[in-house]
Each structure stands twice: as structure tokens, then as C-alpha cells.
Amino acid sequence: MARMMDTNIVILAMIGILVFFGANKNVVAGQCLGMQGLITQCAMYVEKFGPMMNPSPECCYQIKNADDSCLCQHITNAVLQFIDLQKVIYVTQSCGTPIPSGTNCGGITVP
């Protein structure tokens, strides 16, 4: 039950961040292709706390259809309070769609 509540908090935080950005005209919710699917299918694999886990096929499908460069541009310190960027890198690699080396994602350059 606690795990489900933690995942819901991550999802709500991501939605809140999207709404915040949309209100500031920096990002319109849905501007990044695949954002909603990533939130619903992949949040549990990239949340800050908990073990590193292999992603589900549904999560991998969302990753393969997302615009990772757009998403990386909008990972802020606020987002990094809820997700672990190392897990993001692991999950994308596990799905066969790694974030390209040298990409700045959340202020961190992907090795």
C-alpha cells in the first residue's frame, strides 16, 4: 500500500510540475511527446527511493515513443526531488532506447 501511495505522489508531482510549467508558458502540458504515458507507466521505475528495477514492457513502449530530448529539457531540480536520474538512464538503456551520450538531462550530462 505504501509503495502505491509513493508512486501516486510521484505521478501527482509530475502532473503538478507540468501544470506549473504550462501556467508559465515554458511548457504546455503534452508538448513533449509521450509525457503522460511515461508518467503512468514508468514512474515506479524511476522514483527517488526504492530499488533499481527492470522496466515493464508497457514502460518500454512509452519510452520508445517519447521525445527524450524534449523531456530532458524539462527535468528541473524540482523534478529531481522525486526521480533518480541514474534510474532514468538505466530504464532507457534497459528498454533499448538509451538517452544519447552527452545529452544534458536535468543539469547532468549523460555519460
CATH of the domain at 75: 1.10.110.10
What does the CA dihedral 19, 87, 107, 69 come to, rounded to 10 degrees?
-70
pTM of the model: 0.70
Rounded average pLDDT per 10-residue block, the chain, 111 residues: 47 46 39 80 90 95 84 80 88 90 83 82
Q: How many domains does the chain have?
A: 1
For the chain, the maximum distance between any two Cα atoms, rounded to a whole number of angstroms, is 38
Full residue range of the structural domain in which residue 64 is found: 2-109
Backbone angles phi and psi of 15, in degrees to 5: -65, -40
Q: What is the pLDDT of residue 55?
A: 96
